[in-house]
Structure formats: structure tokens, C-alpha cells
Amino acid sequence: MLRAKIIGTGSYLPKKVMTNHDLEKLVDTSDEWIMTRTGIRERRIADKKEASSDLGIKAAREALANAGLKASDLELILVATATPDMIFPSTAAYVQHGLGAGNAAAMDISAVCTGFIFGLSIAEQYIKTGRYKTILVVGTEIMSRILDWTDRKTCVLFGDGAGAAIIQGSEDESGILSTHIYTDGSYADFLLAPGSGTRHGYGSAAQGDKSNCIHMKGNETFKVAVNFMSKVAREALESNGLASEDIDLFIPHQANQRIIEAIAKKLGVPSEKVFMNLHKYGNTSAASVPIALDEALRENRIKRGDLVLIVAFGGGLTWGASLIRW
Ligand code: ACO
């Protein structure tokens, strides 16, 4: 059976930088508190004219160029986002049109920060069955539009950005060894944007309504995140007969430095094998893992034959891991 392989990546970060010092002017916080508790120094903020599809299109164009492919080669587009352009049509439909990828079916994935790994898992199945040969997976978010900028417990954590990957079948040993995804809806109230659907009606942040902003139980989320991510990481290794010593690069969801360090410690992965860029971008939700993967490749942190472990965790709750032989 074919193995699915990432053959090109791309990312896009909006130009506007918001530092912790900028946030000190908005809420009662400090650079010192944010750095110590999260590891985040600054984040990017999308322009008012930009929607999530605009960011995703830029990341996808770069991924296509990297893979040496044209938009018309794409057969399926999966867009993971918690901040869609609108309820419908899908953000994926806008990405498809913006790229000129008229041969591709396109759909959104709603798994918040784990969305990119959910997307990889779906892409992997289509490649393995031979149904599609070339698939684009995008994670794109404008979290700044669903933040309550008066709530210091959440507004300091998130940022905007997009990452993308092109997936094809592999002719050799390289590719995704396995992907493992989970959901537990009993934790739905840990992390949610309640006023953004049919349960509580549609609030509009643009009109000062905060019901559709992120509501989060930070401490509870922290503990569960560490447990679930380390468990699924171990499962990915064990199901391939591998151990944490075999990992060349560990790319976790960039939510909080302390969460990342706790997982790395539980797994026994040394800090030099852990990729972190959250100091620059904060938590970009579904975009976090593909942006980090793209940066790791650009910085030559991944070579042919390396074993890469990616892990994420998000609202739902959802969590997942993918083990990749590069
Ligand atoms: N600046 C200054 N003080 C603050 C801030 C802030 N930005 N935010 C909270 N505080 C205060 C609190 O009010 C509290 O004060 P009190 O003791 O007087 O009540 C104190 O700091 C400690 O607050 P805690 O919430 O206990 O701080 P903690 O060390 O747990 O850090 C944090 C909070 C950063 C949110 C942490 O719990 C965390 O990272 N949780 C996980 C969140 C996460 O990763 N969410 C996303 C995952 S899924 C996804 O990505 C969508």
C-alpha cells in the first residue's frame, strides 16, 4: 500500500507584529508575566481586509511552489480552521478559487488546534486508497478576530497565520508512518466560542458582542493537554515499534512553552530536539503545526531519513499525533 508523503510546505504570517509591551497598554498584564507563564513574546495580527482564506492561499501558493506543482494538479483541498471566512461557503471553497485549483474538491475541517493533524489523517487515507494523487492540507486562522481584547487570560495567548502542506503517494520508505486522532466532547466547555452558532445564536465581535469570543478554562486545559498529547505521542511511537530516542525532531502544537516542556519531559525528548517558535507567533491554532513544520524545514532542522513527530491539542477537545519518516 502507498504511503502518504509531505512533498512541499509553505507558510504565511501577517506583517503586523503585536508585542507583549503593546498588550500592556490594552490589559493589566506584563511582558514578564506572559514570557514566564507562556513563552510568548509577540504575535502577528492580520490586516482588517484579510480573511482566513487570504492567509491560507498565500501559504498554499508557497507549498505548491516548493513541491514544484501547479494549482491545477490538486485533486483535494482540506482547510483546517476555527476562524472561517464565514459559516458557509467553506473557507476551502475560497482557497480553491483563489488558487485557481478548479480540479480539486474542497472542504473545511473543524478540529480547532488539532485541525491540521485531522487533515493529514484524512489526506493519508485518500492517498492510500489511491482515490486522490495530490492533496493540499491548510491550517489557517485569524484568532485576533475572536479574542476578547479586555480578557487578559486569553488575549495574550493567540496570534494569526497560515501553514500548508502538499501530500502525494510515496514510492519509497519515506512518508507518514501513522496518524492518530481523538475527540472527547465531554470536555467541550474547556475551550469554546459559544456565540458562534445555533446553540446560543450568532454574536458579532465586530459589533462589540463578546459571546463569540474564545472562552477558556486555562488551568484545566493545561493539565489535560499535557496528558493527552504525551499519551498519543507514545501511541504513535509504539504502533510503529519505535521509541522516543528514535525521534530526530519533535514539533508540538505551539500553545505554551510550559506545556511543550512538560510533554518533552514525559516523553524523554531532549530540548535540542524540540522545535519551538511560539515566542514569535503565539498560538495560531490549526496553523501552528504547519507553520512550525515549514520553518523547521527552512532552518534545515529536518534531513532526509529523519523521524519527525508532530502532536497537537485543541478545542473539542481534540488531540492527535503523526509520525513521519522524512
Ligand atoms: N497577565 C497577568 N496576570 C494574569 C494574566 C495576564 N495575561 N492572565 C492571568 N493572570 C493572573 C490570573 O488572574 C491569576 O491571578 P490571581 O491568582 O490573582 O487570580 C494568576 O495570573 C494566575 O493565573 P492562572 O490562570 O493560574 O495562570 P497559569 O499559570 O495557569 O497560566 C495560562 C495561565 C497561560 C492560560 C495557562 O493555564 C495555559 O497556558 N493553559 C493552557 C491554555 C492553552 O494552551 N489553550 C489553548 C489550547 S487549545 C488551542 O490551542 C485552541
Domains, the chain, in order of start with CATH, read: 3-172 (3.40.47.10), 177-325 (3.40.47.10)
Question: What does the pLDDT profile of the chain (326 residues) look like in tens digits?
Answer: 689 999 999 999 999 999 999 999 999 999 999 999 999 999 999 999 999 999 999 999 999 999 999 999 999 999 999 999 999 999 999 999 999 999 999 999 999 999 999 999 999 999 999 999 999 999 999 999 999 999 999 999 999 999 999 999 998 889 999 999 999 999 999 999 998 899 888 877 777 788 889 999 999 999 999 999 999 999 999 999 999 999 999 999 999 999 999 999 999 999 999 999 999 999 999 999 999 999 999 999 999 999 999 999 999 999 999 999 99
What pLDDT does residue 316 have? 95
Locate 14 and state its grid cell.
Answer: 501577517
Give alpha helix (H) positions in 68-146.
91-99, 115-129
pLDDT of residue 53: 98
DSSP state for residue 25 in the 8-state scheme: T
**283 in catalytic set:** yes
- 198-204-209-210 Cα dihedral, nearest 10 degrees: 70
Mutate-to-test residue for ligand 1 from 29, 113, 256, highest number of ligand atoms within 8 A of CB: 256
The yes-or-no answer on residue 300 being catalytic is no
Q: What is the pLDDT of residue 93?
A: 98
Which residue is closest in CA terms to ligand 1's atom 12? 153
Look up cell 532542522; give the residue: 301
Q: Given the C-alpha cell 488558487, which residue does it identify?
A: 99
**Which residue do the cell numbers 530540548 mark?**
271
Grid cell 493527552 is found at 228
pLDDT at 258: 97
In the three-class reduction of DSSP (H, G, I as helix; E, B as strand; rest coil), residue 290 is classed as helix
| Strands 215-216 and 201-202, bridge-based pairing | unpaired
Question: What is the CA(40)–ligand 1 centre distance, in A?
Answer: 12
pLDDT at 201: 84
Amino acid 208: pLDDT = 76
Helix 257-267 crosses helix 31-38 at what angle (to 10 degrees)?
Answer: 20
Measured in angstroms, how far is the CA atom of residue 324 from the centroid of ligand 1? 33
Residue 277 annotated among the catalytic residues of the structure: no
Backbone angles phi, psi at 99, to 5 degrees: -80, -20
Residue among 20, 113, 155, 212 flagged as catalytic: 113
Ligand 1 center from residue 219 Cα (angstroms):
7
**pLDDT of res. 307:** 98
Which atom, in ligand 1's list, is nearest to the CA of 313? 48
